[in-house]
Structure 1
Amino acid sequence: MLKGIPSILSPELLKVLMEMGHGDELIIADGNFPAASHANRLLRCDGHGVPELLEAVLSLYPLDTYSEQPVALMAVVPGDPVETPIWKTYEDLISKHTVPAIEYVERFAFYERAKKAYAIVATSEKALYANVILRKGVI
């Protein structure tokens, strides 16, 4: 155990966060995301939701201040009537660390970006369109 490290962050996830450099991207994916087939590095966080992991990661992970939009969400497919209240939760969590400048990425473009991400964290999040990309900054 270490002081000040959220217990939800596994040793493997902490290692990946440390390995990442400026501009590298981390995906925190919901339970429906095809994480295994898209990941260069897959980290499983089954039993956890995206908001709790996002909060823990952001406590250690600097967002890229050189990027206009260091956070990206999967955009709702046109015509899909789904509601996305989880996005407000994300905005609230992100605003604790920086001004929430969020990009909305079309579904298949999001998948292509995920294939290039440093790592994907697979969760059990049930909310739809709950996937988030975080671009790492500098300290």
Structure 2
Amino acid sequence: MKKQGILNSHISKVLSELGHTDTIVIADCGLPIPQGVKRIDIALKPGMPGFLNTLETVLEDMKIEKATLAREIQVHNPSLHQDIQSLIDQETEYVPHEQFKQLTREAKAIIRTGEATPYANIILHAGVIF
């Protein structure tokens, strides 16, 4: 059994297979997941597990160079937006939510959480460790 890092074997596998600029999405329970994109569903019930806990855990194991958020999070979920900003030092790009949903089609995987607050979604762009 793993002693450190992400215990979820599906998430661990996806992270280990990422190349530079590949993307993954951490999503609330309502974000539509496009056909053909790997779904890693960890939702148990509304709010569990939460988006922020999932993001923190993934960031401990993933080197990112950029993040993408829906612009609407700034108005409709400002407290979560602030929490995300405190976790991510890298460039953050903001796009309209409809464009965000289109970008998820290119993701290697979407991790569906139990989060049930508006616009609790993020696209993480893989960086390199060297």
TM-score range, shorter chain: 0.7 to 0.9
Q: Which residue of 2 aligns with 1:44?
A: 41
* C-alpha contact (below 8 Å) 2:28/2:117 kept by paired residues: yes
Deviation at 1:39, TM superposition (A): 5.3
Q: Normalized per residue, which structure has more strand?
A: 2
**CA–CA separation in structure 1 for the residues paired with 2:83 and 2:95:** 18
Query: Percent of pairs identical after alignment?
Result: 31
- Does residue 131 of structure 1 match 2:121? yes
**CA–CA separation in structure 1 for the residues paired with 2:77 and 2:87:** 19
**CA–CA separation in structure 2 for the residues paired with 1:122 and 1:84:** 21
Alignment of structure 1 residues 90-109 onto 2, 5 Å = 90-94=84-88, 99-109=89-99
Unaligned runs of 5+ in 2: none
Deviation at 1:101, TM superposition (A): 2.2
Give every structure 1 segment of 4 or more consecutive aligned residues whose post-TM-superposition deviation is greater than 4 Å: none
TM-score with structure 2 setting the length = 0.87
Pick one of 25, 28, 31 that aligns with 2:29: 31
With 81-90 and 23-32 compared, the bigger mean Cα shift is at 81-90
Unaligned runs of 5+ in 1: 65-69
Change (3 A) 1:39 1:104: farther
Structure 2 counterpart SS, 1:59: helix
Change (3 A) 1:3 1:52: same
What's the CA shift string for 1:80-135, capped at 9, x where partnerless?
Answer: x63431011111122xxxx2421111111111100111111111101101100100
- How many corresponding residue pairs? 124
TM-score with structure 1 setting the length = 0.81
* C-alpha contact (below 8 Å) 1:84/1:129 kept by paired residues: no
Deviation at 1:13, TM superposition (A): 0.8
**CA–CA separation in structure 1 for the residues paired with 2:52 and 2:116:** 11
